[in-house]
Amino acid sequence: MEKNTKRKISAVLIFLTSFIYFALAYKGYKRQGTPLTGYDKITSIIEDKGTDYRYGKNRSRCFYIRLRGSDKKLGVYRMSRAYDDLLGQFQIGDTVTAYFRDNHNTSENINIDLVQVEKGKQILLDQEEYKEKESSLVYIGLTFGLFSVVMSYWQYKRTVQPRLI
Q: What's residue 145's pLDDT?
A: 85
Say whether both 45 and 121 belong to one domain.
yes
Pick from 22, 67, 25: nearest CA to 49: 67
Domain assignment of residue 21, yes or no: yes
DSSP annotation of 158 reads H
Q: Which domain holds residue 75?
A: 36-127
Say whether both 95 and 64 belong to one domain.
yes
Say whether both 143 and 98 belong to one domain.
no
Domain assignment of residue 143, yes or no: yes
Q: What is the band of 99 on the pLDDT scale with cuts at 50, 70, 90?
A: very high
Domain assignment of residue 165, yes or no: no
Say whether both 27 and 40 belong to one domain.
no
Widest pairwise Cα distance in the chain: 76
> Per-residue pLDDT averaged across 118-139, rounded?
85
Helices (H), the chain: 3-32, 84-89, 127-160
Three-class DSSP labels, 122-141: EEEECHHHHHHHHHHHHHHH
| Res. 97: pLDDT tops 60 | yes
Q: Provide, rounded to the nearest whole percent, the portion of the chain with pLDDT above 70.
A: 92
Summarised one tens digit per residue, pLDDT across range 60-69 is: 899 999 999 9
What's the pTM? 0.70
Q: What is the band of 165 on the pLDDT scale with cuts at 50, 70, 90?
A: low
User: Which SS3 state, helix, strand or coil, does residue 16 take?
Assistant: helix
Domains in the chain, number? 2
Say whether both 111 and 146 belong to one domain.
no
CA distance linking residue 51 with residue 74, whole number of Å: 11
Query: Residue 53 belongs to a domain with what CATH number?
Result: 2.40.50
CA distance linking residue 101 with residue 125, whole number of Å: 15
Summarised one tens digit per residue, pLDDT across range 30-56 is: 767 778 888 999 999 999 999 998 886
Domain assignment of residue 120, yes or no: yes
Say whether both 19 and 41 belong to one domain.
no
Say whether both 80 and 43 belong to one domain.
yes
